[in-house]
Amino acid sequence: MIFARKFSIAEDNDYERIAAVSGRLRTLLEAFVEGQLPPEYGMKQLAGYARSLITVQRVDGSFSAYAHPEKLEIDVCTDAHRFVTWAALAFLCRYQDIEDESAKSTDELIPGLGESILAGMRCPAASNFNFPESGEAEPVQQVEAVLILSSGGLPGRLSVDSSSAPELSSALNGLKVDFRSRLESGNTSLPGGIEYADLFRQALKGLDS
């Protein structure tokens, strides 16, 4: 598989192009977290991708696959803006976790990385886990968001210092209460009769890590 070396925003509001931008980020994040990147995709390449994310970070601290997410339909905006923000944060946090140990040259050290992460954690998009467009399936989106954030270790960071991003910390704590309540009451079957107990457990484990 060929992994993206740079995060590039879609030039127009074509859904397929926007989805491709988000998909490449999510694919790279998963391989990074799982240790499945090929040898030729090392610290230098990871640093280059991290820099490309920071370069296009929005003024409010969020990230987007399209320059004007507010102009997109709500479901497309969710994928292009909030999920991209969560994935970008997870990627940058993972990179920061290994930067001190693995960076061997100035090319692999990223000035302003911590500030970028903090701005992202504090942006409104990061702490918004409401998905009215999903109706009764809203918890599925919430679980997906939590799994992305936990892959970057964000819940653990906030457990150490919740004051760094109080709104995000509060929102995640609210989801933790809801997921635990669902598991304890057995309310884990969502529309269509699909059972999501295992995913709620995974999300809760990520929130507790």
pLDDT digits (tens, 9 = 90+) for 141-157: 999 999 999 999 999 99
Of all residues in the chain, what percent carry a pLDDT higher than 70? 98
- Identity of the amino acid at 179: F
Name the β-bridge partners of 190.
Answer: 194
Beta carbons within 10 angstroms of residue 88's beta carbon: 29
Share the mean pLDDT of the chain: 91
Sequence length of the chain is 209
Task: Report the candidate in 174, 179, 88, 93 with the shortest Cα–Cα distance to residue 125.
Answer: 88
Burial 21-41 (b: 16+ CB within 10 A, else e): bbebbbebbeebbeeebeeeb
Q: Give the mean pLDDT of 22-47.
A: 95
Q: Is pLDDT above 70 for 128?
A: yes
**Rounded distance between C-alpha atoms, residue 34 and residue 147, angstroms:** 13
pTM of the model: 0.94
- Opening angle at CA 162, ends 102 and 121, nearest 5: 65
Q: Give the mean pLDDT of 12-41.
A: 93
**Rounded distance between C-alpha atoms, residue 41 and residue 1, angstroms:** 11
Of all residues in the chain, what percent carry a pLDDT higher than 90? 71
Burial 182-208 (b: 16+ CB within 10 A, else e): beeeeebebeeeeebeebbebbbebbe
**Rounded distance between C-alpha atoms, residue 148 and residue 90, angstroms:** 7
Confidence of residue 106 (pLDDT cuts 50, 70, 90): low
What's phi and psi for 67, nearest 5 deg?
Answer: -65, -25
Q: Is pLDDT above 80 for 135?
A: no
Q: What is the pLDDT of residue 105?
A: 64
Q: Are 129 and 142 in contact (CB under 8 A)?
A: yes
Confidence of residue 184 (pLDDT cuts 50, 70, 90): very high
